[in-house]
């Protein structure tokens, strides 16, 4: 296995590491966004379950922005008809992130993605500094953010992808 480390202007507590398996068509990225996650949560008083969803979107956005080969940003937005009306994380090619959630109703610690968001969709917007914007939209059919992103990559990118997201 070959490991390539990359920091892309991240803080000393946020890290991004790429890895490749030389004899397979597998590549991956390991991301830790502790400091950015804490800063986002310190600005809001969200229920614990919403904090976890924001963390999953933050990790995902960091992974996607790390693959950008141009100056620009990526926004991942989830919208639905449940008590969590919207979750959004925006990040740029320098790994600078920000995020917010809009909640109109009750969310418990045990609430699932479906219980929080209800019927909804995920929008991924790629905005290069120079060039045209691209937007992909998929229904939220998975039980987790990772499953929804797997669906996005299958439908929008025709790319077999498997994400493992852990937020604490």
Q: Are strands 72-80 and 120-128 parallel, antiparallel or unpaired?
A: antiparallel
DSSP run (H or E) holding 52? helix 48-66
Question: CA-CA distance, 118 to 141, in Å (whole number)?
Answer: 10
- pLDDT for the residue numbered 119: 95
- pLDDT given for residue 11 in this prediction: 53
At 12-40, the pLDDT tens digits run 567 776 667 777 777 677 777 888 889 99
* Per-residue pLDDT at 1: 29
Position 157 scores a pLDDT of: 66
Q: What is the CATH number of domain 46-157?
A: 3.55.30.10
- pLDDT tens digits, residue range 40-83? 999 999 999 999 999 999 988 988 887 778 899 999 999 999 99
Whether residue 86 contacts residue 103, with contact meaning beta carbons closer than 8 Å, is answered with: no
Q: Can you give the pLDDT at residue 8?
A: 46
pTM (2 d.p.): 0.80
- Say if CB 61 and CB 90 are below 8 A apart: yes
Q: For residues 65 and 73, what is the distance between their CA atoms, to the nearest angstrom?
A: 7
The pair of three-digit structure tokens given for residue 116, joined into one six-digit string: 């929080």
């Amino acid at each position: 296995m070959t490991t390539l480390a990359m920091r892309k202007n991240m803080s000393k507590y946020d890290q991004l590491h790429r890895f490749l398996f030389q004899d397979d068509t597998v590549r991956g990225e390991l991301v830790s966004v502790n400091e950015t996650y804490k800063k986002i949560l310190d600005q809001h008083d969200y229920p614990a379950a919403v904090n976890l969803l924001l963390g999953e979107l933050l990790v995902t956005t960091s992974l996607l922005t790390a693959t950008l080969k141009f100056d620009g940003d990526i926004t991942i937005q989830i919208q639905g008809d449940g008590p969590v009306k919207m979750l959004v994380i925006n990040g740029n090619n320098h790994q600078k992130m920000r995020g917010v959630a809009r909640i109109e109703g009750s969310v418990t610690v045990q609430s699932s993605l479906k219980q929080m968001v209800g019927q909804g969709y995920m929008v991924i917007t790629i905005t290069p500094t120079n060039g045209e914007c691209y937007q992909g939209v998929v229904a939220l059919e998975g039980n987790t953010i990772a499953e929804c992103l797997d669906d996005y990559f299958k439908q929008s990118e025709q790319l077999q992808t498997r994400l493992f997201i852990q937020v604490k």
